[in-house]
Structure 1
């Protein structure tokens, strides 16, 4: 009987993974070099080009103020990508710390952290963000901080589940026998050993964070004019739909959808690779 050679799941490279990686690389480069590649300034108004269709002058058309949509999407990629990165950084610091503390101390500490995260889960995240924005005012900074606080319980629960399994491994007892303190073990060994699965989880959450920030900007709580944030662009392009012009909504909406899908593809792929290697 002839043996059939197969590639391990961890080495398989689906086409979707390559496409997602290439697309995100292009988006990141476009955001970094927007001043060099954008054909116009993002806020350059030209009423002669109001709702202009796709043309050599405006490759993706123009909005109701005659602003070039390609230029606005390129510049908008900066806030649309940096915002989720910052909110996940805030959520990770809080969530990883709480999840690790709960798994390490167990007992009443674990119970308290568990109840707090359960309460946060029961409270709708978007409503929590709206309440924070109502107190501290509109703006991207407030939206990022509020969403970071809202995402922290999710990361804390995931971190706790990973940390509980990690705390049962022999190297933890070995460091304890050597007299190393709990804080040193957690900071030097436990958290670094959990970095791979946590990073994989954060990649998946990035797309969700981008969608959440875009939603807040669409509702008027996040980025404010004259920002070219993608969520704000969708909001500002709505009136044009009544006039039969769909590009001001379609272009930023497609950018959001493609980036979110790409991050989800990479996140799932990364998680699968980690799962295979950890088995």
Structure 2
């Protein structure tokens, strides 16, 4: 007595060669991510090689060329002081990109430390740190930053430190949430059984395993950090003249709008918008790939 072959076996037996294990469909290329990443790469290169690419010094004043339009001598025009806008934007890219990195570094060090301690210790320590971050969340971030600047004075360093403190609760809450799930994994208990101290487990194993998710989350925050710093510079609390910071350039070029000269404010404003949008596109894609938005 013979039995009929199972459907799966029958289909495998009759399947043409090369189709037993069909290949997975190719993922579509994220063209928006590629374009945004290429643009950011060009911005970084322009910032690094700004002294070589800029046709003029960023602080070179030529009042005879005040509010000049686009020309062969000034590809993006000039501002009210006759300073070349292309040169100022290229040189300003350095500070406009480095300052958010410093801001997020401050927030990451403090936030990851607080979040990890809260998740590891639990109990009253977790409750105290959680309530502290909740209070900081309830306090308007911009007002908190302005208060710090009012005490310690305006400037880019003060703005970076103040915004780093303002971003700390966000990073701390996210770190705590992923550290809680990581702490429940078997390898943590295995290290405890081996007699390893909690501090060593956190520093050598727990935090490094959180690094991939935290980095993906920080990339998403980069565009927001850049915009926050530009806002402070626009309000006069961040970078100070004669800096070529993009936010400060928008503030300085605002007065020229009434004279129908749009380029002094439009050029740095467009640079801010393009970089922020590009970082958001790349950041969301990278966070999805790293699992930071689960």
- Relative to the length of structure 2, the TM-score reads 0.91
- Which residue in 2 is equivalent to 1:27? 43
Residue deviations 1:203-226 (CA, integer Å, cap 9, x gap) = 011111100000000000000000
Q: 1:194 aligns with which of 205, 210, 230?
A: 210
Tell me how far apart the structure 1 counterparts of residues 122 and 276 of structure 2 sit (CA, whole Å). Answer: 36
- Which residue in 2 is equivalent to 1:14? 30
Tell me how far apart the structure 1 counterparts of residues 277 and 207 of structure 2 sit (CA, whole Å). Answer: 29
Segments of structure 1 that go 5 or more residues without pairing to the other structure are none
Give the C-alpha shift of residue 65 in structure 1.
0.8
* 2:227 pairs with 1:206: no
Q: 2:290 aligns with which of 267, 274, 278?
A: 274
Tell me how far apart the structure 2 counterparts of residues 241 and 263 of structure 1 sit (CA, whole Å). Answer: 28
- Which residue in 1 is equivalent to 2:89? 73
Give the C-alpha shift of residue 13 in structure 1.
3.0
Tell me how far apart the structure 2 counterparts of residues 183 and 7 of structure 1 sit (CA, whole Å). Answer: 44
Instruction: Specify the SS of the correspondent of 1:23.
Output: helix
Q: Say which structure, 1 or 2, has more relative contact order (CA 8 Å, 6+ apart).
A: 1
Instruction: Specify the SS of the correspondent of 1:194.
Output: helix
Residue deviations 1:3-62 (CA, integer Å, cap 9, x gap) = 784235xxx431111111111111111111111100000011111211111111111111
- Which residue in 1 is equivalent to 2:186? 170
Tell me how far apart the structure 2 counterparts of residues 117 and 85 of structure 1 sit (CA, whole Å). Answer: 22
Give the C-alpha shift of residue 272 in structure 1.
1.1
- Relative to the length of structure 1, the TM-score reads 0.95
RMSD (Å), alpha carbons: 1.6
Segments of structure 2 that go 5 or more residues without pairing to the other structure are 1-14
Tell me how far apart the structure 2 counterparts of residues 166 and 55 of structure 1 sit (CA, whole Å). Answer: 58
Note the 1:10-159 alignment, pairs <5 A: 12-159=28-175
Tell me how far apart the structure 2 counterparts of residues 13 and 30 of structure 1 sit (CA, whole Å). Answer: 26
Between structure 1 and structure 2, the one with the greater Rg is 2
